[in-house]
């Protein structure tokens, strides 16, 4: 079997202090260690953001509840949204990307290891700063998209929103530098024979996604800079009492905000593409279509932002244009869904926890996606915008799409990262508890939206069915909470548990499984010459190798 | 705050079941038509995805004996692109059709009512009759009217589910909304753009009346406040600086920072649907506004009970 | 590798400045910029400094060419020229700011103030960063580092420096030229 030797990692990298734990984690530039740091950060903030969610659901459990004062509730729902988007999903997906991209393309490091470390730490610091606001006299309280002029000194005079701005600026810089790093890595460090046509789909999505990040973040940074100038130096950009504009903020924010939500789903699509292949024991159906539709989604996602502003009174012509663009996105996304189904067709499906999350995703994400298409129809959006229907939509896509992918990846790659295998029995418990809780919480919110309940209300009056539906919704949230505790216990127990014997428990296809589990400081000494999209599969089945 | 289950504030004007699917206006009817089509199409798509997934899981399990299946052809791709494209095209057409039916572009028609949203209450101005009122908005049923929507501070949003479409109220911008209410009656809604601490208690109530009731109401509200009795309360209202924020027609209280109180007594609710309008709620509010509606822009004046009582009596009498 | 990295970086930066320019134009009418510009800004002096910045791009290009042809003395010379020109540009901008503040045009006074200082300020910041990098490069070359054909450092910095100059051309066109052609 031919194999090519890799020259080892760049020589002059700082030696990581392996002997002294703290110092090691602070000083390491190893993409695997940094990937782990990202994942741990995401887990930490997920528990915090989830705890905030539980607080919200407790407050909303019954009508006219006085557990939380309005000020408290407003800070909590804002921090929940910001945390989950910028400090849970972003680090989780970027973490998986920096951990596995080099391994999957047969490289020993990222293109710029030091930059990689910098990116993580600045993101992490951004998160800390954001939460410091609680101690500094009040967290941001104007919602995650922080509309003007409510975000101005005059209407929100606690320092919270300054921390929001600075925290997200730092996080944004981190994401952009990471994205650049990923692109260069993929472009320059692929092992011999791995043409773009043979890139694992996860890497494909990571590539497209990085371009989205680079193109989307700047408009947020611009908006945040203006906001800071407004609040600190009394500039007039969003100060409607002095010639400023409320809609400029919305345009700049959503020019970032909509691509952002796809930034949180594309890597997920990548993960699912790998998981469906391995656990159907069959190579992907329609590789080209899946890759191409990703590019289509990426391009379209920059032409739809006004669908968050349909009710702002921009006129029918503008609205119709952006409605069209938004609906079109359904088509490439559908292509993906059906190609994954096609991948299962004729396969030998193994319903591991990882695969179960992938299968659940097909249904949940279609629900969320379809409600999205509903919103992209302007008159329907006019009815349902800013109601709980939106809350339902965004959680179906975020949780049923992005979060499920992280869970699927966790169960699929945990053995590779730690050399230990998560308990499938506990995994199944976790899956059912979480999925049932999830649907209980958020499916009912569709009805609340249809029954006229606006979002972001700290309490509601005793209107027929409101209390009932909200109470059940809160119950679902607690089920999810229980599920997460099961997951945490599963992880803890597994890390205490014994190392697995089999280096390749899933009988996987791609190069990361060719390295040891867990991989050494230096990922590969040698890598098989890549002649197809499933190099590791070829290596294991010399007689039945693919030729594309 | 102690954890208290249930309802502290008495909200006796029971709000009936809300639903976007009950249409009480021309606009809502149009919207519901496309909404229904959409739900059908969406359900159909979801069903297909679910059935296909179920089939794969049932048919192609590991360990099951090899069922020889011929691989999917490229017909699959064509179908999965073609059908959705078709659906998208259809809905794009309905979409544009409905938009223009519901919200024809505004061409300098004169609005019938000018509604201004404040943190956290509604001001209604009837230019033709120069009537100003607050929170409970009277509109004529059975004719097409034009609302002009403004915001005094931050962004708010007009939403009455049974009337159909929302419309944001954006500071420094004028938005317009066509409305064709079908039947007289009371309709409920809420401010639907997050606007700060009391966004939750910025409920909206419209009283739709037939032509003549509406006109009677207008005439009745054109009259200045009549305060034959309760002179002392009237005096106190002025001396205790209430006039710096509130307007009471026919008195020297002319400010518009707070809701107009000229005919407060004739309203069913207080504070944008938060409380029933009766003498004790009124008294509690004036005594300690921050206790009733935390964050509201009306300070606590530490008035002694007798003062509060007589002011409340005065206001309650402003029919 | 470095060059690809720098290209992606400036790609991102370009979009950032695009947003700031859009914001500037967004307030054009309500802030009646036409008048403000006519009254307070002098296209002449700004034009001169623009020329200077553009020339610094040329001089850096010279540095790159000499570096490619292993003519390192000239390289250092042209680097120094570039830095001096960059400094002159910043001084010019500083002087303009000073003048405007005298005339009571402040970031907190009007939409024009806000937009103008933000746009030009962020560009100035990028020039400053560029100068710092250039100084580092110069120092290294003085100590004889980077002095071989296949060191990509100078070319990489070059991409950034030319970008900063290019951005200024657009800023200049937007702020100083547009009022005269509209
Ligand atoms: C992962 C994140 C994610 C994803 C993937 C999506 C996907 C989509 N979203 Fe969503 N969206 C959010 C996150 C996301 N959204 C968030 C967070 C908000 C709220 C922000 C806030 O206000 O706080 C939001 C809000 C939001 C709005 C504004 C609602 C409002 O506030 O008024 C709109 C309007 O058009 C919209 C549209 C869409 C569309 C058309 C898609 C499409 O991409 C969906 C495509 C997928 C499918 C369609 C299903 C699969 C396809 C098939 C099975 C084929 C058949 C399909 C057809 C024939 C159409 N989204
Ligand atoms: C990926 C993103 C993401 C994720 C995963 C979630 C997860 C959840 N979200 Fe949220 N959510 C958003 C993104 C997300 N959300 C956004 C963007 C908004 C809009 C914000 C805005 O309007 O500005 C929002 C808003 C939002 C609202 C609407 C608030 C309002 O409009 O008033 C609600 C209400 O039910 C809610 C609930 C939940 C729940 C119950 C979960 C659950 O899935 C959470 C499950 C996790 C747990 C339950 C944690 C378990 C941890 C423990 C059990 C340990 C407990 C530890 C201690 C107590 C110390 N979310
Ligand atoms: Cu007014 Cu929300
Ligand atoms: Cu969107």
> By the 8 A CB rule, do A530 and A193 touch?
yes
Q: With cut-offs at 50, 70 and 90, classify the pLDDT of residue B18.
A: confident
| Neighboring chain A residues of B52 at a CB cutoff of 8 Å | 338, 341
pLDDT digits (tens, 9 = 90+) for B95-126: 999 999 999 988 888 999 999 999 999 999 99
Chain-centre distance for alpha carbon C158: 13
* Side-chain-facing half-sphere of A128: CA atoms under 13 Å: 7
pLDDT at B8 over 60: no
pLDDT digits (tens, 9 = 90+) for A173-225: 999 999 999 999 999 999 888 999 999 999 999 999 999 999 999 999 999 99
Radius of gyration for chain C, computed over Cα atoms and rounded to the nearest angstrom = 18
DSSP string for A179-228: HHHHHHHHHH-PPTT--GGGS-HHHHHHHHHHHHHHHHHHHHHHHHHHHH
**pLDDT in the model for residue A243:** 87
Q: Which runs of consecutive H residues, i.e. helices, occur in B138-204?
A: none
What is the arithmetic mean of pLDDT over A487-509?
92
**pLDDT in the model for residue B229:** 66
Check A235 against C4: CB less than 8 A apart.
no
The closest alpha carbon to B295, from A72, A139, A53, belongs to A72
Find out whether the beta carbon of A456 lies less than 6 Å from any atom of ligand 2. Answer: yes
Q: What is the DSSP letter of A544?
A: G
Among candidates B19, B62, B72 on the partner chain, residue whose Cβ is nearest the Cβ of A281? B62
Interface test with A, best of B15, B17, B98, B159 (most A CBs within 10 A): B159
Q: How many CB atoms lie within 10 A of CB B142?
A: 14
What is the arithmetic mean of pLDDT over A408-432?
96
Among candidates A313, A327, A345 on the partner chain, residue whose Cβ is nearest the Cβ of B168? A313
> By the 8 A CB rule, do B5 and A62 touch?
yes
Q: With cut-offs at 50, 70 and 90, classify the pLDDT of residue C15.
A: very high
What is the arithmetic mean of pLDDT over A353-358?
97
Residue A292 forms contact with B (CB below 8 Å): no
**pLDDT in the model for residue B67:** 67
Q: With cut-offs at 50, 70 and 90, classify the pLDDT of residue A151.
A: very high
Distance CA B316, CA B310 (A): 10
pLDDT digits (tens, 9 = 90+) for B294-310: 999 999 999 999 999 99
Provide the whole-model pTM.
0.95
Radius of gyration for chain B, computed over Cα atoms and rounded to the nearest angstrom = 26
**pLDDT in the model for residue B20:** 85
Neighbours of A, requiring at least 3 CB pairs below 8 Å, are: B, C
> By the 8 A CB rule, do A331 and B84 touch?
yes
Distance CA A178, CA A90 (A): 11
Find out whether the beta carbon of B156 lies less than 6 Å from any atom of ligand 3. Answer: yes
pLDDT digits (tens, 9 = 90+) for B176-223: 999 999 999 999 999 999 999 999 999 999 999 999 999 999 999 988
**pLDDT in the model for residue B107:** 87
DSSP string for A325-357: HHHHHHHHHHHHHHHHHHHHTTS-B---HHHHH
| Neighboring chain A residues of C15 at a CB cutoff of 8 Å | 215, 218-219
* Side-chain-facing half-sphere of C111: CA atoms under 13 Å: 23
Interface test with A, best of B51, B161, B194, B273 (most A CBs within 10 A): B194
Which residue from A minimizes the CA distance to C118?
A226
pLDDT at A5 over 70: no
Find out whether the beta carbon of A485 lies less than 6 Å from any atom of ligand 2. Answer: yes
What is the arithmetic mean of pLDDT over B269-292?
92
Q: With the CA atoms of A333, A338, A340 and A344 taken in that order, what torsion angle do they form, in degrees rounded to the nearest 10?
A: 170
SS (H, E, C) B22-57: CCCEHHHHHHHHHHHHHHHHHHHHHHHHHHHHHHHH
Chain-centre distance for alpha carbon A182: 16
User: Taking every pair of C-alpha atoms in chain A, what is the biggest distance, in angstroms?
Assistant: 74
pLDDT at B3 over 50: no
Radius of gyration for chain A, computed over Cα atoms and rounded to the nearest angstrom = 23
Q: With cut-offs at 50, 70 and 90, classify the pLDDT of residue B11.
A: very low
**pLDDT in the model for residue B163:** 94
* Side-chain-facing half-sphere of B85: CA atoms under 13 Å: 8
pLDDT at A135 over 70: yes
What is the arithmetic mean of pLDDT over A470-497?
96
**pLDDT in the model for residue A16:** 62
Q: What is the ipTM of this complex?
A: 0.94
What is the arithmetic mean of pLDDT over A416-432?
95
pLDDT at B7 over 80: no
Among candidates C31, C108, C118 on the partner chain, residue whose Cβ is nearest the Cβ of A226? C118
Distance CA C182, CA C179 (A): 5
What is the arithmetic mean of pLDDT over A287-311?
95
Distance CA A100, CA B314 (A): 74
Can you read off the two tokens belonging to residue B139?
A: 């509109």
Residue A295 forms contact with B (CB below 8 Å): no
pLDDT at C32 over 70: yes
> By the 8 A CB rule, do A129 and A47 touch?
no
User: Taking every pair of C-alpha atoms in chain B, what is the biggest distance, in angstroms?
Assistant: 95
Check A180 against C8: CB less than 8 A apart.
yes
Q: Which runs of consecutive H residues, i.e. helices, occur in chain B?
A: 26-59, 75-102, 211-222, 231-239, 279-287, 289-292, 305-316
pLDDT at B4 over 50: no
Distance CA A162, CA A151 (A): 9
Contacts of A370 (CB under 8 A, 6+ apart): B42, B45, B46
Distance CA A491, CA A44 (A): 14
Among candidates A176, A181, A218 on the partner chain, residue whose Cβ is nearest the Cβ of C19? A218
Among candidates B5, B56, B81 on the partner chain, residue whose Cβ is nearest the Cβ of A62? B5
What is the arithmetic mean of pLDDT over C40-47?
90
Chain-centre distance for alpha carbon A267: 7
Chain-centre distance for alpha carbon A463: 36
Can you read off the two tokens belonging to residue A430?
A: 């976790």
* Side-chain-facing half-sphere of C150: CA atoms under 13 Å: 1
> By the 8 A CB rule, do B98 and B33 touch?
yes
Q: Whose CA is nearest to atom 33 of ligand 2?
A: A53
Q: With cut-offs at 50, 70 and 90, classify the pLDDT of residue A527.
A: confident
Q: Which of residues 445-474 of A touch B (CB under 8 A)?
A: 450-465
| Neighboring chain A residues of B5 at a CB cutoff of 8 Å | 62, 65
A15 to chain C, minimum CA–CA distance in Å? 23
Strands (E), chain C: none
The closest alpha carbon to C26, from C100, C109, C112, belongs to C112
> By the 8 A CB rule, do B167 and B154 touch?
no
Distance CA A324, CA A300 (A): 10
Q: Quick one: what percent of chain B has pLDDT higher than 70?
A: 94
Strand B269-270 and strand B131-134: the pairing is unpaired
Which residue from A minimizes the CA distance to C29?
A243
pLDDT at A7 over 70: no
A393 to chain B, minimum CA–CA distance in Å? 14
A152: preceding bond cis by omega (within 30 degrees): no
Residue that has been written with the tokens 């590789």 in this structure: A287
User: Taking every pair of C-alpha atoms in chain C, what is the biggest distance, in angstroms?
Assistant: 55
Q: Quick one: what percent of chain A has pLDDT higher than 90?
A: 82
Q: Which of residues 386-445 of A touch B (CB under 8 A)?
A: 386-387
Which residue from C minimizes the CA distance to A235?
C108
Contacts of A492 (CB under 8 A, 6+ apart): none
Residue C8 forms contact with A (CB below 8 Å): yes
pLDDT at B12 over 50: no
Check A244 against C111: CB less than 8 A apart.
yes
A283 to chain C, minimum CA–CA distance in Å? 32
A272 to chain B, minimum CA–CA distance in Å? 14
> By the 8 A CB rule, do A200 and A251 touch?
no
Q: Supply angle C-alpha A340, A346, A350, rounded to 5.
A: 75
> By the 8 A CB rule, do A115 and A177 touch?
yes
Ligand nearest A454 Cα, by number? 2
Residue that has been written with the tokens 């409607």 in this structure: A240
B30 to chain A, minimum CA–CA distance in Å? 9
Distance CA B80, CA A337 (A): 9
The rounded mean pLDDT for chain B is: 89
**What counts of helices (H) and strands (E) characterise chain C?**
7, 0
Distance CA A251, CA A166 (A): 20
Q: Whose CA is nearest to atom 1 of ligand 3?
A: B156
Which residue from A minimizes the CA distance to C112?
A236
Task: Pick the atom of ligand 3 nearest to B193's CA.
Answer: 2
Q: What is the DSSP letter of B17?
A: P
Distance CA B39, CA B44 (A): 8
Find out whether the beta carbon of B191 lies less than 6 Å from any atom of ligand 3. Answer: yes
Ligand nearest A457 Cα, by number? 2
pLDDT digits (tens, 9 = 90+) for A57-116: 999 999 989 899 999 999 999 999 999 999 999 999 999 999 999 999 999 999 999 999
Distance CA C135, CA C146 (A): 13
**pLDDT in the model for residue B69:** 74
Find out whether the beta carbon of A78 lies less than 6 Å from any atom of ligand 2. Answer: yes
The rounded mean pLDDT for chain A is: 93
Can you read off the two tokens belonging to residue A202?
A: 């996860």
What is the arithmetic mean of pLDDT over C74-96?
95
Q: Which residues line ligand 1 (CB under 6 A)?
A: A 145, 261, 264-265, 307-308, 326, 329-330, 333-334, 337, 366, 369-370, 372-373, 375-376, 381, 385, 390, 393-394, 397-398, 401-402; B 45, 49, 84, 87-88
| Sheet with B203-209: strands ordered across | B136-140, B203-209, B185-190
pLDDT at A524 over 90: no
Find out whether the beta carbon of A398 lies less than 6 Å from any atom of ligand 2. Answer: yes
Strand B121-126 and strand B156-158: the pairing is unpaired
What is the arithmetic mean of pLDDT over B25-46?
95
Neighbours of C, requiring at least 3 CB pairs below 8 Å, are: A
Can you read off the two tokens belonging to residue A165?
A: 């701005």
| Neighboring chain A residues of C107 at a CB cutoff of 8 Å | 229, 233-235
pLDDT digits (tens, 9 = 90+) for A16-67: 666 678 888 888 899 999 999 999 999 999 999 999 999 999 999 999 898 9
Q: Whose CA is nearest to atom 12 of ligand 1?
A: A394
Q: How many CB atoms lie within 10 A of CB A361?
A: 28
**pLDDT in the model for residue A538:** 85
Element (H, E) at A42: helix A31-59
> By the 8 A CB rule, do A545 and A531 touch?
yes
Check A458 against B200: CB less than 8 A apart.
yes
Q: Which runs of consecutive H residues, i.e. helices, occur in B183-275?
A: 211-222, 231-239
Element (H, E) at B144: strand B144-151
> By the 8 A CB rule, do C56 and C85 touch?
yes
Among candidates B53, B171, B193 on the partner chain, residue whose Cβ is nearest the Cβ of A386? B193
Task: Pick the atom of ligand 3 nearest to B195's CA.
Answer: 2
**Alpha carbon of C80 to those of C53, C55, C62, C131, C138: distances in Å?**
14, 13, 11, 10, 8
Check C108 against A218: CB less than 8 A apart.
no
What is the CA(A376)–ligand 4 centre distance, in A? Answer: 9
């Amino acid at each position: 079997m031919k194999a090519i030797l890799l020259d080892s990692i760049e020589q002059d990298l700082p030696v990581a202090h392996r002997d002294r734990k703290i110092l090691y984690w602070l000083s390491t530039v190893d993409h695997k260690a940094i990937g782990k740091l990202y994942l741990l950060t995401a887990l930490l903030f997920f528990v915090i953001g989830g705890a905030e969610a539980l607080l919200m659901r407790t407050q909303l459990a019954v009508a006219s509840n006085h557990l939380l004062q309005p000020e408290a509730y407003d800070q909590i729902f804002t921090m929940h949204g910001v945390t989950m988007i910028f400090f849970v999903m972003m680090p989780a997906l970027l973490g998986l990307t920096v951990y596995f991209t080099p391994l999957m393309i047969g490289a020993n490091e990222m293109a710029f290891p030091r930059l990689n470390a910098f990116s993580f730490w600045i993101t992490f610091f951004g998160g800390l700063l954001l939460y410091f606001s609680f101690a500094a006299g009040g967290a941001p309280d104007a919602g995650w998209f922080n509309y003007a002029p409510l975000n101005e000194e005059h209407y929100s005079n606690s320092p919270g929103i300054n921390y929001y701005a600075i925290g997200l600026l730092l996080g944004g810089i981190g994401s952009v530098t990471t994205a650049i790093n990923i692109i260069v890595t993929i472009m320059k460090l692929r092992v011999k024979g791995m043409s773009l046509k043979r890139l694992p789909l996860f890497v494909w999505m990571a590539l497209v996604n990085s371009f989205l990040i680079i193109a989307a973040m700047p408009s947020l940074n611009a908006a945040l800079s203006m906001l800071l100038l407004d609040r600190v130096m009394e500039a007039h950009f969003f100060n409607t009492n002095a010639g400023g504009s409320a809609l400029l903020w919305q345009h700049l924010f959503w020019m970032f905000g909509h691509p952002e939500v796809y930034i949180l789903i594309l890597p997920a699509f990548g993960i699912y593409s790998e998981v469906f292949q391995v656990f159907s024991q069959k190579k992907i159906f329609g590789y080209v279509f899946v890759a191409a539709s990703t590019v289509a989604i990426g391009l379209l996602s920059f032409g739809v932002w006004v669908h968050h502003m349909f009710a702002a009174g921009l006129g029918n012509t503008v609205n119709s244009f952006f409605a069209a663009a938004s609906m079109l996105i359904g088509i490439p996304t559908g292509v993906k869904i059906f190609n994954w189904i096609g991948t299962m067709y004729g396969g030998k499906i193994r319903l591991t926890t990882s695969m179960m999350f992938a299968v659940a995703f097909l249904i949940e994400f279609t629900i969320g996606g379809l409600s999205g298409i509903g919103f992209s129809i302007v008159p329907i959006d006019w009815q349902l915008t800013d109601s709980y229907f939106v809350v339902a939509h965004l959680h179906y896509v975020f949780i049923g799409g992005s979060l499920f992918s992280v869970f699927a990846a966790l169960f699929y790659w945990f053995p590779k990262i730690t050399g230990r295998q998560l308990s499938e029995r506990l995994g199944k418990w976790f899956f059912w508890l979480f999925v049932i809780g999830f649907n209980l919480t958020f499916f009912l919110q569709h009805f609340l939206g249809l029954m006229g309940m606006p979002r972001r209300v700290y309490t509601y009056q005793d209107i027929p069915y409101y209390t009932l539906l909200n109470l059940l919704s809160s119950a679902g949230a607690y089920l999810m909470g229980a599920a997460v505790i099961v997951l945490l216990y599963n992880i803890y127990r597994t890390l205490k548990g014994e190392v697995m014997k089999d280096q390749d428990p899933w009988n996987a296809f791609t190069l990361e499984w060719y390295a040891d589990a867990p991989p050494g400081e230096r990922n590969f000494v040698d890598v098989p010459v890549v002649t197809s999209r499933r190099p590791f599969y070829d290596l294991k089945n010399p007689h039945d190798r693919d030729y594309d | 705050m102690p954890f208290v289950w249930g309802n502290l504030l008495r909200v006796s004007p029971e709000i009936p079941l809300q639903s976007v699917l009950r249409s009480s206006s021309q606009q809502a009817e149009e919207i519901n038509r496309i909404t229904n089509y959409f739900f059908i199409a969406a359900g159909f798509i979801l069903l297909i995805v679910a059935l296909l997934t179920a089939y794969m899981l049932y048919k192609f399990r590991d360990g099951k004996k090899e069922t020889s299946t011929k691989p999917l052809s490229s017909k699959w791709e064509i179908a999965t692109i073609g059908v959705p494209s078709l659906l998208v095209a259809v809905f794009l057409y309905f979409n544009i059709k409905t938009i223009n039916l519901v919200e024809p572009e505004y061409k300098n028609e004169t609005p019938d009512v000018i509604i201004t949203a404040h943190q956290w209450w509604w001001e209604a101005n009837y230019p033709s009759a120069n009537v100003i009122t607050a929170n409970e908005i009277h509109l004529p049923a059975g004719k097409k009217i034009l609302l002009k929507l403004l915001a005094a501070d931050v962004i708010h949003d007009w939403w009455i589910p049974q009337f159909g479409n929302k419309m944001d109220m954006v500071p420094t911008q004028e938005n317009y909304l066509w409305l064709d209410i079908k039947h007289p009656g009371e309709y409920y809604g809420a401010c639907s753009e997050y606007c700060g601490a009391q966004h939750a208690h910025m409920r909206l109530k419209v009283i739709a009346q037939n032509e003549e009731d509406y006109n009677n109401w207008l005439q009745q509200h054109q009259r200045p406040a009549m305060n034959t009795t309760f002179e002392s309360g009237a005096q106190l209202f002025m001396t205790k600086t209430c006039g710096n924020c509130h307007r009471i027609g026919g008195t020297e209280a002319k400010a518009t920072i707070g809701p107009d109180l000229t005919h407060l007594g004739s309203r069913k609710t207080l504070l944008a649907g938060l409380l029933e309008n009766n003498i004790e709620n009124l008294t509690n509010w004036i005594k300690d506004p921050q206790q009733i509606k935390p964050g509201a822009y009306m300070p606590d004046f530490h008035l002694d009970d007798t003062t509060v009582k007589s002011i409340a009596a005065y206001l309650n009498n402003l029919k | 590798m470095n060059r690809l990295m720098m290209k992606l970086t400036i790609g991102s930066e370009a979009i950032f400045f695009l947003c700031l320019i859009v914001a500037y134009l967004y307030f054009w009418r309500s802030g009646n910029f036409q008048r403000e510009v006519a009254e307070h800004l002098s296209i002449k002096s700004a034009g001169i400094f623009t020329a200077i910045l553009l020339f610094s791009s040329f001089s850096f290009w010279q540095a790159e060419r000499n570096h490619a042809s292993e003519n390192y003395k000239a390289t250092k010379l042209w680097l120094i020229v570039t830095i001096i020109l960059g400094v002159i540009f910043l001084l010019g901008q500083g002087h303009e700011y000073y003048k405007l503040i005298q005339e009571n045009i402040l970031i907190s006074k009007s939409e024009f103030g806000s937009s103008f200082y933000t746009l030009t300020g962020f560009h100035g910041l990028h020039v400053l960063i560029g100068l710092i990098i250039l100084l580092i490069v110069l120092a290294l070359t003085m100590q004889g580092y980077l002095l071989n054909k296949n060191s990509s450092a100078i070319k990489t910095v070059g991409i950034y420096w030319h970008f900063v100059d290019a951005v200024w051309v657009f800023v200049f066109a937007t702020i100083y030229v547009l009022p005269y052609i509209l």
